[in-house]
Amino acid sequence: MSAHIIDGKVFAAKVRGLVADGVGKLKAEHDIVPGLAVVLVGEDPASQVYVRSKGKMTVEVGMKSVEHRLEADTSEADLLAVIKSLNEDPSIHGILVQLPLPKHLNEDLVINSIDPAKDVDGFHISNVGLLGTGQKSMVPCTPLGCLMMLRDYHGSLSGMDAVVIGRSNIVGKPMAQLLLGDSCTVTIAHSRTKDLPDVVRRADIVVAAVGRPEMVPGDWIKPGATVIDVGINRLDAPEKGEGKTRLVGDVHYESAAAVAGAITPVPGGVGPMTIACLLANTLTACCRANGLSEPEGLTA
């Protein structure tokens, strides 16, 4: 194994430190405490992990943390009423509705009912449009975290060939926008892409956001390329004991690390950065809401 390991855990701790400094300054100089509300409908297991560490870290950086846990059969009207009350609550600067939502709820409608200024996920159509046109917006946390790691490792990304595997609204598409914004030549690959291995072999930067465990093998990776593994896949791990599981990414780590120049591990890569960027976005939203200058280095 030769690749440099990009340590998302260490980087995320650094970002949370910057956020904590900003929060401290807001409190000391303006007596303002940023508040983040998370709304969880039902008991999606993938979301559980996220909500747990998020609540803890929100409090650690000095913010107010609010959780709304609603029954899986909550009506759309009741969910919209909760969001409306959070939109109107001046102590709340960030609102996150955990996805996926139960099938009977219209995800687009729900997301677009969030005040765009409080949309710390950056999923509201208004923020998507602002990002797409290069205007100041709320930037989705996972792609923002990936961008921060890439900028930190490479400095400038200008002119690099980037391949994003996956075209979801929450990861693939905004990731491609951010890479384009940093002047990469961007290819977006998906399930209908022809000759995916050859497409990936051209890339200086590979971002894998597919949701298929260890799908990208090392022999698809150009020697020296930087590999960002967004995938979070939980597999059974009987070797660790009965009922135990392990997390793996969308990249086959061992073989990819043998050829890549740099790689993010799973766990300990993109995941912790996502949460750090959520806190960063909440601080940014709070500064903007109060007409204050926002901290450097925490936005795209």
Ligand X SMILES: NC(=O)C1=CN([C@@H]2O[C@H](COP(=O)(O)OP(=O)(O)OC[C@H]3O[C@@H](n4cnc5c(N)ncnc54)[C@H](OP(=O)(O)O)[C@@H]3O)[C@@H](O)[C@H]2O)C=CC1
Ligand Y SMILES: Nc1nc(=O)c2c([nH]1)NC[C@@H]1CN(c3ccc(C(=O)N[C@@H](CCC(=O)O)C(=O)O)cc3)C=[N+]21
- Which residues are marked as active site? 54, 98, 121
Among 37, 232, 251, 300, which residue sits at the site for ligand Y (rule: CB under 6 A)? 232
Residue 113 contacts ligand X per CB under 6 A: no
Site membership for ligand Y, residue 50 (CB under 6 A): yes
Residue with tokens 């729900």: 110
Beta bridge partners of 188: 164
Q: Which does 34 bind (CB under 5 to 8 A by kind): ligand Y, ligand X, none?
A: none
Those residues whose C-beta lies under 8 Å from the C-beta of residue 223, and which sit 6 or more positions away, are: 259, 260, 261
Question: Please, are residues 204 and 186 in contact by the beta-carbon 8 Å criterion?
Answer: no
Show the binding pattern over residues 248-267: x = contacts ligand Y (CB under 6 A), - = does not.
------------------xx
CA atoms within 13 A of residue 211's CA, in its CB half-sphere = 9
Which of 177, 274, 281, 282 is close enough to bind ligand Y by CB under 6 A? 274
Interaction between residue 170 and ligand X (CB under 6 A): yes
The DSSP letter of residue 229 is E
Return the residues of window 138-157 that contact ligand X according to CB under 6 A. Answer: 142
From the list ligand Y, ligand X, none, partner contacted by residue 115 (C-beta under 5 to 8 A by kind)? none
- Minimal distance, residue 278 CB to ligand X, in Å: 9
Identity of the residue, 160 or 283, whose beta carbon is nearer to ligand Y in the bound complex: 283
Taking the least distance from each CB to ligand X, the nearer of 119 and 250 is 250
- Asked whether the beta carbons of 40 and 79 are under 8 A apart, the reply is no
Please count the residues of the chain.
300
Q: Give 76: exposed, middle or buried? Use CB within 10 Å, 0-12, 13-18, 19+.
A: middle
Q: CA nearest 144: which of 127, 121, 115? A: 121
Amino acid of residue 120: V
Q: Does 172 bind ligand X (CB under 6 A)?
A: yes
Partner that binds at residue 187, options ligand Y, ligand X, none, CB closer than 5 to 8 Å by kind: none
In the complex, minimum distance from the CB of residue 223 to ligand X, in angstroms, rounded to a whole number: 22
Sign of CA dihedral 287, 93, 65, 171: negative
Residue ranges in contact with ligand Y by CB under 6 A: 46-47, 49-50, 53, 96-99, 121, 141-142, 232, 247, 266-268, 271-272, 274-275
